[in-house]
Each structure stands twice: as C-alpha cells, then as structure tokens.
C-alpha cells in the first residue's frame, strides 16, 4: 500500500515509519513539506501523491500551550484535519486519524467505550473533537483511533521526564488523581498497521492494557529502572497547570476486541521494554 503519513517527525510518527516502512511504500511528511493548515497545499499535495491511505499523526499536542494559543490549536487539530478529510474525499482514499482520551470529561468510573459520553474540558480536547467531527461529516472511509498517555523513543514524555528528574531529586511529587492507560507508541503503531489492512472503518479506542495513576506509573518506572526516588502523591489541583485534565480516562478497547484483534500488551510489559531500550 502507498501510505502518506503526516507528523512523521513526531513521537508516534517515528514509530509509524519504523513499523509501516517494513512492508509499505511510505510518503512521510512534516510540517515543512505538508502544512495541514494550508487547505490548498494539502489538497494539491495529496491529490498529487495519490496514496491508498493517509495516516494523520500531526497535531498541536502541547495541552497547556493550546489554552494560550487557541487559534493555533483549532487551526491544526480541527481545520487541519478537515483539510485532510477534504483531500481524501477528492481521491477517495481512507484516512486514519489519531485522537485522544481528552475528548472525555473524566467523570466516568469505568473504562470508556467508543460511544461513551463526549465532553472535552480543555481547548486541546475540544479542538481534537472538532477534528473527529469534521472527518465524520466528510468521509465514510475513516478510522478514528483514540489513544492516551503516549510515550516513545522520539519525543518528550512522562517516563523520560521522570528519569531526568531522578538524576538530581530524591523526592518527586506526582499526581495521583488522574488515571489512564500509558501507551507505547511502538505498540500503537503495530496496532495501526493491522487496522489499515482491513476495511473495518469506525472509531477505535486503542491503548496498552491495564491502567494506573501518574503516581503509580512513576513508582513503577523508578522500580524497574532501580532509581531510589520517593514519589509523593499530590492532587491535580495542587499541581496548577493551565489546562484541566480528565481525572479518569481509561479507554475500553471494545471495538478493537470485537473486530477480533488481540489486545495490546499490558502497560507494565511495554514500559519495561521501553526503559531497557533507553537506559
Ligand atoms: N502525546 C500523547 O500523550 C497523546 C495522547 C493521546 C493522543 N495523542 C495524539 O497522538 C498523535 C501523535 O502524538 P505525538 O505525541 O506523537 O505528537 P508530537 O510528537 O507532538 O508530533 C506531532 C507532529 O505534528 C506535526 N505538526 C504540527 N503542526 C503541523 C502542521 N500544521 N502541519 C503538519 N504537521 C504538523 C509536528 O511536525 P514538525 O515536527 O514537522 O513540525 C510534530 O512532529 C496526535 O494526534 C495526538 O493528538 C497524543
């Protein structure tokens, strides 16, 4: 298959290239070669390359930055996604788009299904939801893959921050009242590689299995990396940040399982492999 990938310099983009490059013909793009906020360029570029599928891993992902730079958030995460959907419609190709657990409000008490009550509480979440809605309005052939708490080799992320802090801190304060499923971008990329072989279009939740709070995740990271750091649990409200985060955003990978795919491995197995790789 010929696959056009946006955001190929990003954390997930990097693993998509690694995984998909083994068996497909890729057209990797960055914000320099294809700025998805430019409607004309986006349509012309995609019509010229004629991919079988577009995978959109580009986004403005700075959750706090989105509160400050709302225009940029909507321009990339909503309008940019709309432009991609319009381009895909022109050449009748499918679009696989990455979305987020932040489209939910965090009030759920059990794993959230794909048709769970939507209600983003941050500009990032609202802009990502607008992107989802544009796709559903414009296309029939789409996969919307909501994922969460990503970490990978190529980018800043929570495990790397914890390991950096461990270099010169004996105690680290970490939020305990936000619960989710940490997800390794390599596992997600492998899941995406299976999904695009099908025509099982629709909305998917796709994360590593299991869930934890940030605090539990930090403790586990220090345990497996043998760092002697005490993790002090704090509430999200003690940790003032510009954007509110959902307090519970565990995603039930229901559609994924119902379509016969194997659940992604437990987040503990995944982070073990990742820590071994980066240490
Ligand atoms: N990180 C998480 O914890 C998390 C959780 C849930 C969902 N997600 C979603 O997963 C996807 C991948 O996230 P990630 O963490 O891998 O993102 P990332 O590392 O921040 O990469 C995003 C990429 O988007 C590109 N980009 C930004 N503006 C663009 C534009 N106008 N045109 C074209 N490209 C543009 C950037 O490209 P350049 O480098 O070329 O400028 C960047 O490399 C995103 O859709 C995100 O919303 C992430």
3-state secondary structure labels for all residues of 12-79: HHHHHHHHHCCCCEEEECCCCCCCCCCHHHHHHHHHHHCCCEEEECCCCCCHHHHHHCHHHHHHHHHH
Structure-block tokens of residue 75 = 């321009």
Residue 274 lies in a domain: no
Residue 146 lies in a domain: yes
Domain count, the chain: 1
Instruction: Tell me the average pLDDT across 87-95.
Output: 98
Instruction: Tell me the average pLDDT across 180-185.
Output: 98
Mutate to test the pocket of ligand 1, among 4, 55, 57, 158 (most ligand atoms within 8 A of CB): 57
Residue 172 lies in a domain: no
Question: 207: which residues sit within 8 A by CB, 6+ positions away?
Answer: 101, 147, 148, 149, 180, 181, 183, 188, 251, 253, 264, 267
Mean pLDDT across the chain: 98
Q: How far, in Å, is the centroid of ligand 1 from the Cα of 228?
A: 33
Strand order in the sheet with 2-6: 25-28, 2-6, 53-56, 94-100, 142-147, 202-205
Confidence of residue 90 (pLDDT cuts 50, 70, 90): very high
Q: Specify the pLDDT at position 97.
A: 98
Residue ranges making up the domain that contains 94: 2-156+183-208+250-265
Confidence of residue 239 (pLDDT cuts 50, 70, 90): confident
Q: Would you say 13 and 61 are in contact if contact means Cβ atoms under 8 Å apart?
A: no
Confidence of residue 146 (pLDDT cuts 50, 70, 90): very high
Q: How far, in Å, is the centroid of ligand 1 from the Cα of 178?
A: 22
Residue 112 lies in a domain: yes
Residue 272 lies in a domain: no
49-74: pLDDT as tens digits? 999 999 999 999 999 999 999 999 99
Residue 100 and residue 249: Cα distance in Å, rounded?
10
Instruction: Tell me the average pLDDT across 243-257.
Output: 98
Residue 220 lies in a domain: no
Instruction: Tell me the average pLDDT across 5-20.
Output: 98
Instruction: From the CA of 14, give the closest atom in ligand 1.
Output: 16
φ, ψ of residue 278 to 5 degrees: the values are -90, -15
Q: Would you say 108 and 96 are in contact if contact means Cβ atoms under 8 Å apart?
A: no
Q: How far is CA 271 from the centre of its chain?
A: 16
Q: Specify the pLDDT at position 266.
A: 98
Instruction: Tell me the average pLDDT across 160-181.
Output: 97
Confidence of residue 76 (pLDDT cuts 50, 70, 90): very high
Residue 216 lies in a domain: no
Q: How far, in Å, is the centroid of ligand 1 from the Cα of 186?
A: 15
Residue 162 lies in a domain: no
Residue 118 sits in a domain whose CATH number is 3.40.50.720
Q: Would you say 182 and 267 are in contact if contact means Cβ atoms under 8 Å apart?
A: yes
Instruction: Tell me the average pLDDT across 223-250.
Output: 96
The answer to whether residue 124 is catalytic is: yes
Q: Specify the pLDDT at position 240.
A: 84
């Amino acid at each position: 298959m010929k696959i056009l990938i946006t955001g190929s310099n990003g954390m997930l983009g990097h693993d998509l290239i690694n995984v998909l490059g083994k068996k497909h013909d890729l057209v990797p793009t960055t914000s320099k070669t294809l700025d998805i906020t430019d409607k004309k360029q986006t349509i012309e570029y995609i019509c010229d390359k004629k991919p079988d599928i577009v995978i959109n891993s580009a986004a403005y992902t700075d959750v706090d930055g989105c509160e400050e730079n709302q225009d940029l958030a909507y321009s990339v995460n909503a309008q940019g996604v709309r432009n991609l959907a319009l381009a895909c419609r022109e050449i009748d190709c499918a679009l696989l788009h990455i979305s987020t657990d932040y489209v939910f409000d965090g009030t759920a008490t059990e794993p959230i299904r794909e048709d769970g009550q939507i209600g983003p509480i941050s500009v990032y979440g609202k802009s990502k939801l607008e992107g989802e809605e544009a796709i559903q309005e414009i296309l029939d052939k789409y996969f919307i893959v909501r994922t969460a708490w990503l970490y990978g080799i190529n980018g800043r992320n929570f495990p790397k921050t914890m390991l950096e802090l461990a270099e010169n801190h004996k105690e680290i304060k970490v939020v305990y009242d936000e619960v989710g499923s940490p997800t390794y971008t390599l596992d997600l990329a492998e899941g995406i590689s299976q999904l695009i072989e099908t025509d099982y279009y629709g909305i998917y939740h796709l994360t590593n299995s299991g869930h934890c709070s940030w605090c539990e995740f930090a403790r586990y990271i220090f345990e497996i990396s043998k760092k002697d750091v005490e993790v002090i649990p704090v509430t999200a409200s003690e940790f003032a940040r510009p954007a509110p985060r959902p307090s519970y955003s565990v995603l039930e990978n229901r559609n994924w399982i119902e379509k016969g795919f194997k659940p992604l491995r437990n987040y503990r197995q995944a982070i073990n492999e990742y820590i071994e790789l980066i240490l």
